[in-house]
Amino acid sequence: MKKIVLASTSTLFGQEYLEYLLEELQSFFKGCSTITFIPYARPGGISHDAYTTMAATAFSKINKKVVGLHSFTDPLEGLAQAEGIFTGGGNTFLLVQQLHQLQLISPLKAKIESGTPYLGTSAGSNIAGPSMKTTNDMPIVYPPSFDTLGVVDFNLNPHYMDPDPNSQHKGETRETRIREFHIFNTTPVIGLREGNYILVNGDHKILKGEGTARIFEAGKKPYESKNIPF
């Protein structure tokens, strides 16, 4: 049975890394002594080692050890050994490029579908859907494919922001860009606001955190929901 947490962000304003999620993660990763961290998204160009240290510091508060997947000579073997998995945020293009280059997409998908608990934040959540096409990130590298894990049947738009009626900004809103996506694609999209996350247990999905999510379906008007309809 799939066990997945997909969070919009790792850090809320005024909090430490993963702080708002730790209570959930303590029960979510129950039975796991070590979490395998996938650091390839490298926010701000941070090194794999430094990023893994950030994750390790957070998980130490709930008595979990963290090992970076990059530290294994053979990342496929490191993934095979994983009791629980966390993919951090950063640049989705870079993350997906690395996962394809290291031939980790199919093994990671199989690992999650076999029941290994999986946490994603931001870019790490983007890759759970069928494609990365609704990311907010700049294409700093060129992955061989936009296809991702498909362990859920919807795409995410993490850090979703509502249009500000008082803003003088005249560029595209998130809603505009997702409408553009649906001109060429039919995959549903969930606009996930800061502080919200989706908990998946098998076929059951629930939105947690404050408020609602913005739901986009091709050919339909966007709507707000506390439930995940897919």
Which residues are the active-site residues? Answer: 122, 137, 159
**Is the C-alpha dihedral spanning 8, 154, 147, 219 positive or negative?**
negative
Q: Distance (Å, rounded) from C-alpha 73 to C-alpha 82? A: 15
Residues 6+ apart with CB under 8 A from 20: 12, 195
What's at 155, amino acid-wise?
A: N
Q: Which of 41, 36, 230 lies closest to 152 in space, CA to CA?
A: 230
Percent helix, strand, coil in the chain, to 5, is 30, 20, 45
* Residue with token string 């926010």: 43
End-to-end CA distance of the chain: 17
